[in-house]
Structure 1
């Protein structure tokens, strides 16, 4: 995978999770250091299903919208920290509306980066006001 990190500034400590989907789902997600700006090549097992996430501590977090599948013998491109575009929902991130008895839960991620297929949040970024109202 050709991976690019496109944050607007170099400051901050970034991380990335890249996890193969196993039948038992009991793996622990461990953040790996990543640059806030730059490019690198990651090698992954082809023909496996993956979940991918990245973030910058205290600023932003992003998660792939869907389960990813990289065919063996091909090169894929992944881009993180692109310009913020619009709110998005994601099946992979548990961001689908749900109902339990007389309660509705409608998690709405505040945004997604432009064209990269990610949903985003701003947990622990107290400079951002990200709320929903009816």
Structure 2
């Protein structure tokens, strides 16, 4: 559902987004609107983690983390792979990592009153 990370497409400012692009963006932003999912994506931006590690890092129960990861997988924001009996999760591509970083940097500016960038 989330726009492809490494594919060429319309650049911002050139063509208006399609309905499918708007739908995918809204889905991604909805996923980021949950504090636990945003914390999970923050943890996953730098590498792979399993459910137990993520649960400890975000202070949530393993079943809840598993459910959040399932939603993030369906939305295309997270990818997973098997490593023996474990499943490892990671943020899906640079767009997702940058989106998480940007939204948290913008929040920091809002909270601290730091001046906005150009």
Give the TM-score normalised by the residue count of structure 2: 0.30
Of structures 1 and 2, the one scoring higher in RCO (CA 8 A, sep 6+) is: 2
Greater share of residues in helix: 2
Give the TM-score normalised by the residue count of structure 1: 0.27
